[in-house]
Structures are given as structure tokens and as C-alpha cells.
Structure 1
Amino acid sequence: MKLNRDLREFVGLLNSHKVEFLVVGAHALAYHGLPRYTKDIDLFVAPRAGNADSMIRAIDEFGFASVGLSASDFLTPDIVVQLGVEPHRLDLLTGLSGISWDEAWSQRIAGTLDGLDVWFLSKDCYIKNKLASGRPQDLADVARLRQIRP
């Protein structure tokens, strides 16, 4: 999946600052074979102190220092930090419904996103997360994903 210049730059900064994160949401769905339109990129961030510090350095270097985020924002469970505007918004998540960071990380899948090395949420974890969310679009995505990859 192709990213716009800003999103690609941000993901590159996460890599250069060694932030532990997983690509989740529609970009993970596309990786698993079902591309669909999305207005953002969802990244699940490891909620650990050193990782939160690295995340703040990446955000500051990207140009969002004035937003006033701190490492503690990435240590609080189940927070969504939104940066930018649709259709190129960043959604930085510290939790996912139905799955822990450790479970998601242990089952991660290596891949590339617009030429950048990233980790994707596994298909099984994706399904578990979307079933726990229970939103109609999520349930439809799970049904479609199960059809093409039983």
C-alpha cells in the first residue's frame, strides 16, 4: 500500500528511533489481502517507558513537538492519539480490543509498507481484535478475510 509523503516520513522516523509498533487497522487488512479505503493509518504502540520516550522523539522530529505530548501519553492503556487530518491522519493506539500488546507482538508478521520495513498485526490477532470491537465494518472485514483465507 502506498502512503502519502508525510505518513511515509513518520513511519520512517519510527523505524529510525527504534519505536516498537505494529501496523493495524485497514493497512493490516490490506497486507492480509483485502485492501479498502481508509482515512488514516492505525499504529499500535508498545506501552513501555523506553518505547514511549522513543515515540516522543519521533513525534518531535516529525514537527509535532508543539502538540505537547509526553511519554506518559503512551503509557496509559487504551489511549488513541490522533495527529493530522483525514485522509492522512495518524492514529497512535496504546491498546486494542480483545488483545494485549504482548500477544500481538509475539504473533507479529514482518512485511513492508511503501518500501519501509514494518511489523503487521497477524491475521489471527486482527480477527480477534475486530470481533472484540464488534462494529459492523469490523465484522464485515472479518467475514471477508475468512472467505479469502480460511
Structure 2
Amino acid sequence: MDLFSDELLKLIQTFQKNDVETVLVGGMAVTLHGYHRFTEDVDLFFYPSNENGIKLIKALNEFGYDTSEFNETDFSQALHFRLYEKDSYIDLLNATVGVTPDEIFASATSFFIQGISIKVIHINQLIQNKIALNTSKDTADAEALQKIKARRQ
């Protein structure tokens, strides 16, 4: 997948314009922290609250997505849904393991991609998350990130 396609950057800008609290997590966050590997998708973590969910739906509508299925959704509960964009997809989620939403948002770092500031999960929380996910790919990510972190210290 193109690391930051124009469509993805436009979506992130639409979220920012609507004050949707999101943080990039997953494989693309791993890549931004220095371990380059293939990823098929984009994982965007959104803060789990109904207030943020309303902003998210407004932004998705503005971007052109049909959000009618989310009219009665409780965004404070664990959710995961997928948006399809051409040859790739974007996973929107508000729950994960090994790290809390408050930890993710409190420690997120910013990366500038094509002039756009994008919040990305901090390497420490990303490592915790990858260890807790406990798949072979996530374990390899965690080990690589720990080596990168050690070299930076």
C-alpha cells in the first residue's frame, strides 16, 4: 500500500478539521518509527467516546461515506470497522490490548507527512501493544522496535 496516499491524507485532514481525536497505530506506525515492513492497511485509533464518535461520523459523511448504519452506535464501546479506498483499506478502531486509550493519546507523537501533522502512537506504547497482540508479525515488530529504541538512547 502507498504509505500515505492522497486519499488517506485528505481523510486525516477531514478528521482534523472536524476535531476527531485519532492516532495512527499498527503497521504504518511501526514504519514511521523506523522498522520498514509491508502493511496492507492503515489503522487509525479513535478516542472511544460518543462525543468523538459524533465528530467521526460527521467527518466521514463530509468525506463521502455512507454512515447511516452508525446512527445508533455507542462509540464508548469497543468498535472496529473498515473503510475501503481503491486498492487498500483503513481500519478504524477504538479499542486494543496492552495499552489504554488515555495512554495512547497522552503520549502520541507527531510526524509531518507532506506538510500535515499526524499523531502517531509513541514507540513505547506501540511496543506494549505489539507484545500484547502476540502474533508472530506483532512479536517481530516489537523486537525490531525495541532494538530501534535502544539505539536511540
| TM-score (norm. length: structure 1) | 0.90
Q: How far off is 1:128 after superposition?
A: 0.5
1:109-124 matched pairs, under 5 angstroms: 109-124=109-124
Mapped partners of 2:86, 2:97: distance in 1:
23
Q: How far off is 1:105 after superposition?
A: 1.0
Aligned-partner residue type, residue 23 of structure 1? L
Q: How far off is 1:69 after superposition?
A: 2.4
1:119-134 matched pairs, under 5 angstroms: 119-134=119-134
Mapped partners of 1:26, 1:20: distance in 2:
19
Mapped partners of 1:2, 1:99: distance in 2:
25
Mapped partners of 1:67, 1:4: distance in 2:
26
The aligned residue for residue 61 of structure 2 is: 60
CA deviation map 1:5-49 (0-9, x unaligned): 221211111111111011001111112111222111100100112
CA deviation map 1:28-82 (0-9, x unaligned): 11121112221111001001122111100111111112562237253322x2110
Mapped partners of 1:86, 1:147: distance in 2:
35
Where structure 1 has 5 or more consecutive residues not aligned to the other structure, the ranges are none
Mapped partners of 1:36, 1:126: distance in 2:
15
Mapped partners of 2:148, 2:99: distance in 1:
23
Aligned-partner residue type, residue 61 of structure 1? E
Does 45-54 or 81-90 show the bigger shift?
81-90
The aligned residue for residue 102 of structure 1 is: 102
Q: CA 1:99/1:70 → structure 2, altered by over 3 Å: closer, same or farther?
A: farther
Mapped partners of 1:50, 1:71: distance in 2:
13
Mapped partners of 1:108, 1:148: distance in 2:
17
Does 85-94 or 100-109 show the bigger shift?
85-94
The alignment's C-alpha RMSD in Å is: 1.9
Asked if the contact 2:43/2:90 (under 8 Å) is kept, the reply is: yes
Does residue 25 of structure 1 match 2:26?
A: yes
